With several copies, the nearest count.
Chain A
Amino acid sequence: MSEPILMKGNEAIAEAAIRAGCRFFAGYPITPQNELPEYMSRRMPEVGGVFLQAESEVAAINMLYGASGAGARCLTSSSSPGISLKQEGISYMCGAELPAVIINIVRGGPGLGNIQPAQSDYFQATRGGGHGDYRTVVYGPASLQEMVELVMEAFDVADRYRNPVMVLGDGILGQMMEPVVFADDQVREPQPKPWATTGARGRERRVLSSIYLEPEDLDHHNWKLEAKYEQMRQKEARYELVQMEDAELCLVAYGTTARICRTALEKARSAGLKVGMIRPITLWPFPVKAFGEAGANLRAYLVVEMSTGQMVEDVRLAVNGARPVAFYGKTGGAVMLPQQVVDALQDLAAREGVGR
């Protein structure tokens, strides 16, 4: 096993991508993810890859369209406002079935907002902020090590389904340093892409496009895509259960918030509350199954997000009325304290008569 290295989250993502065979990066500066393109600008030339600072986020995602179509494993990264600008491009990539990995180091919104950590782009990521029926797998890692592993996996998943994959971080995950290990066996080699436009030398020409003029054709295309998305729902959903065996209250949180909730969970348990946690690792497909496994003791859910409440809808859809679902959130970089989560748990316990 390799040595742990102390790395910034943004740099760890970049290194993970390169080890996953990524050889094309295009992006546009934006805080709090700048270390990622900066790292790429140094590393890509070393591995014979391409680093491009695009003129805008719009250009960057469309460069990815071209590069992915030409067969490269490719990455772009940005933060909230920049990701909004990529929505048309993401929709095009889904339509033309082009793989890519897209990193969103989420910051406070809406508008210019601020550059502090947030989770308020959940809807955009999981519902598709662009037009049309499309989906992307969305990972929500909670540590740098997990981020490294999921970024590497993201490239495989993207290629497997010929579809973009998104990784949601936040200012904390992007900026913090933590030891990470790059296991040598994690190195991936891109598979052949018999659809890439590489010049029609001795073969039929290839066309990549998302236009289907005839309604019947586009309808057919959409249901074909939907079948792919259904495959993802079946196969790609991931989550972690924490102390759920005897839990009466269940926290639901992802990413940085899940870390805070873990501390809160310990505190609450010390205070006598039987609390567990479901930590979605994929935000889409949402790990609905995790909620089906809830024990008989479970009385209610508390969803904690750095937003005014977005994932809470997916939890309600997963729970489907079986138990109450409460919400606690902070926004705009105002990260909640573990104690505030404990207080919210205690309120919920009181409301639901838990522990009485």
Chain B
Amino acid sequence: MKKIFARPRSLKDTLMHYCPGCTHGIAHRLIAEVMDELDIRERTVGVAPVGCSVFAYNYFDCDFQQAAHGRAPAVATGIKRVQPDCIVFAYQGDGDLASIGTAEIIHAAARRENITVIFINNAIYGMTGGQMAPTTLPGQATTTSPGGRDVENKGYPIRVSELMATLEGAAYVARVSLHNPAGIARARRAVLQAFRYQLEGKGFSLVEMVSTCPTNWGLSPLAALKWLEEHMLPAYPLGVFKDIQGGGQG
């Protein structure tokens, strides 16, 4: 009898603090699987954001730094420039990356920083209890858009992958989704590609993962996946938005 699916070596045994059904856990596992596959655990340095994944450093079995809110790309830049042989990745939520950290992510990409960013788009601020995020959908109710996001007053969602793809320094930008096994498989391939590009020195890579926050969406984990599929995917089309080795929106 052979074990055909096991916990990845790069993930620690620790119980994760995420809510039941939260896709952060899936994203973690995918990264760890890719670290295993590329055999880079011993040279990887992760950067944890401020957000529900602030404790990501407890779950990966590699070196880690915990960054200030939104500044993970700057911290990752510092690490990578000093340790160019390390594989450096930042893990960020949508509040962290697309709101307070807008300047840092754009400039890390523009600078062609040879790092990988995993971006968890769950359309909400999970950690702080469900406030509106830059990625919150029009009409979506949150604790700071109680009547639903009203675009006249609160503006439109930011499409991070589309935005990042306009930057010459970005080598690889893809949007994937974690709502079903097929999506998860594609997500894994994107993470693999992103880390490969870093290994090959190709420059900045970003994988946006359309994710759920059952707790703050006020939905069961399964209902959340359904909501993701029905509401998020139309607004956040999946695909590769930038690939310096050819390919593009797809």
Direct contact of A and B (CB under 8 A): yes
Question: A186 contacts the other chain (Cβ, under 8 Å)?
Answer: no
State how many residues of chain B have any CB contact under 8 Å with chain A: 56
A201-B70 Cα distance, complex, nearest whole Å: 28
Question: A7 contacts the other chain (Cβ, under 8 Å)?
Answer: no
Question: B140 contacts the other chain (Cβ, under 8 Å)?
Answer: no
Which B residue's beta carbon lies closest to that of A23?
Answer: B82
Q: Assess A62 versus B78: contact at CB under 8 Å? Given A41-B145, A53-B132, A70-B45.
A: yes
Interface flags for A30-57 (1: CB within 8 Å of B; 0: not) read 1100100110011001000011111111
Q: Is the interface of A mostly helix, strand, loop or mixed?
A: mixed
Contact between B71 and A62, CB atoms less than 8 A apart? yes
- The stretch among A173-181, A208-216, A242-250 that forms the contact with chain B is A208-216
- For A67, list chain B residues within 8 Å (CB): 78-79, 81-82
A143-B235 Cα distance, complex, nearest whole Å: 46
Question: B191 contacts the other chain (Cβ, under 8 Å)?
Answer: no
B250 shortest CB reach to chain A, Å: 30
Candidate in B57, B86, B106, B144 with the most chain A CB atoms within 10 angstroms? B144
- For B50, list chain A residues within 8 Å (CB): 112
Contact between B81 and A24, CB atoms less than 8 A apart? yes
Question: B37 contacts the other chain (Cβ, under 8 Å)?
Answer: no
Contacts of B64-89 to chain A: CB distance below 8 A: 64-71, 74-83, 85-86
A227-B26 Cα distance, complex, nearest whole Å: 42
Q: How many A-B residue pairs have CB under 8 A?
A: 180
Contacts of B94-152 to chain A: CB distance below 8 A: 95, 99-100, 102-104, 106-107, 125, 127-129, 131-132, 134, 143-147
Contact partner of A38 (CB less than 8 A), chosen from B60, B74, B143, is B143
Contact between B66 and A207, CB atoms less than 8 A apart? yes
State how many residues of chain A have any CB contact under 8 Å with chain B: 56
- The stretch among A154-162, A192-200, A325-333 that forms the contact with chain B is A192-200
Question: B231 contacts the other chain (Cβ, under 8 Å)?
Answer: no
Contact partner of B71 (CB less than 8 A), chosen from A34, A58, A72, A209, is A58
Question: B208 contacts the other chain (Cβ, under 8 Å)?
Answer: no
Contact between B78 and A26, CB atoms less than 8 A apart? yes
Q: Assess A197 versus B78: contact at CB under 8 Å? Given A38-B143, A59-B104.
A: no
A200-B62 Cα distance, complex, nearest whole Å: 6
Question: B43 contacts the other chain (Cβ, under 8 Å)?
Answer: yes
Which B residue's beta carbon lies closest to that of A40?
Answer: B144
Q: Is the interface of B mostly helix, strand, loop or mixed?
A: mixed
Q: Assess A63 versus B131: contact at CB under 8 Å? Given A29-B144, A205-B64.
A: no
- For A54, list chain B residues within 8 Å (CB): 74, 107
Interface flags for B36-50 (1: CB within 8 Å of A; 0: not) read 000001111101101
Contact between A66 and B47, CB atoms less than 8 A apart? yes
Question: B13 contacts the other chain (Cβ, under 8 Å)?
Answer: no
Which B residue's beta carbon lies closest to that of A88?
Answer: B68
A64-B75 Cα distance, complex, nearest whole Å: 7
Which B residue's beta carbon lies closest to that of A84?
Answer: B68
- For A52, list chain B residues within 8 Å (CB): 77, 81
Contact between B104 and A29, CB atoms less than 8 A apart? no
Q: Assess A53 versus B131: contact at CB under 8 Å? Given A24-B82, A29-B144, A112-B54.
A: yes
A285 shortest CB reach to chain B, Å: 27
Which A residue's beta carbon lies closest to that of B110?
Answer: A55
A62-B90 Cα distance, complex, nearest whole Å: 13
Q: Write 24 A-B pairs (CB below 8 A) sorted by A numbering.
A: A26-B78, A29-B129, A34-B143, A37-B144, A50-B81, A50-B82, A55-B99, A55-B102, A58-B74, A59-B71, A62-B68, A65-B74, A66-B76, A67-B79, A69-B65, A71-B82, A81-B68, A92-B68, A96-B66, A197-B64, A198-B63, A205-B61, A209-B64, A209-B66
Binding site for B on A (CB under 8 A): 23-24, 26, 28-31, 34, 37-38, 41-42, 45, 50-60, 62-72, 74, 81, 88-89, 92, 96, 111-112, 197-202, 205-211
Binding site for A on B (CB under 8 A): 41-45, 47-48, 50, 54-55, 57, 60-71, 74-83, 85-86, 95, 99-100, 102-104, 106-107, 125, 127-129, 131-132, 134, 143-147, 154
